[in-house]
């Protein structure tokens, strides 16, 4: 099962998950990363687990 959002090929730090969402919705990746870190620091959002699950579910970037 994959979600129809591709990980970023050119703008990735670890897996390209946050940058892939930012590219899909036309956001600045730096702002997306800051928001992700802030959300990850809250006890309600399991940041590392969510990142790993999204990494597995998102489509591979195009290798063109």
**pLDDT attached to residue 64:** 61
**pLDDT attached to residue 63:** 64
Residue 2 lies in a domain: no
Structure tokens given for 52: 């790993």
Residue 1 lies in a domain: no
Q: How many domains are there within the chain?
A: 1
Residue 4 lies in a domain: no
2 in Cβ contact with 58 (< 8 Å): yes
Instruction: Residue 15: give the domain boundaries.
Output: 10-59
Residue 23 lies in a domain: yes
**pLDDT attached to residue 28:** 92
**pLDDT attached to residue 48:** 83
Residue 3 lies in a domain: no
Block means of pLDDT (10 residues each) for the chain, 64 residues, are 78 83 90 90 84 85 68
**pLDDT attached to residue 55:** 86
Residue 37 lies in a domain: yes
Contacts of 53-56 with CB under 8 Å at 24 or more apart are 54/3, 54/17, 55/7, 55/15, 55/17
**pLDDT attached to residue 4:** 82
Residue 31 lies in a domain: yes
């Amino acid at each position: 099962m994959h979600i129809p959002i591709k990980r970023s090929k050119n703008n990735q730090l670890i897996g390209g998950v946050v940058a892939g969402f930012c590219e899909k919705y036309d956001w600045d990746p730096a702002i997306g990363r800051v928001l992700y870190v802030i959300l990850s620091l809250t006890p309600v959002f399991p940041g590392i687990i969510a990142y790993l699950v999204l990494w597995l579910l998102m489509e591979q970037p195009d290798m063109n």
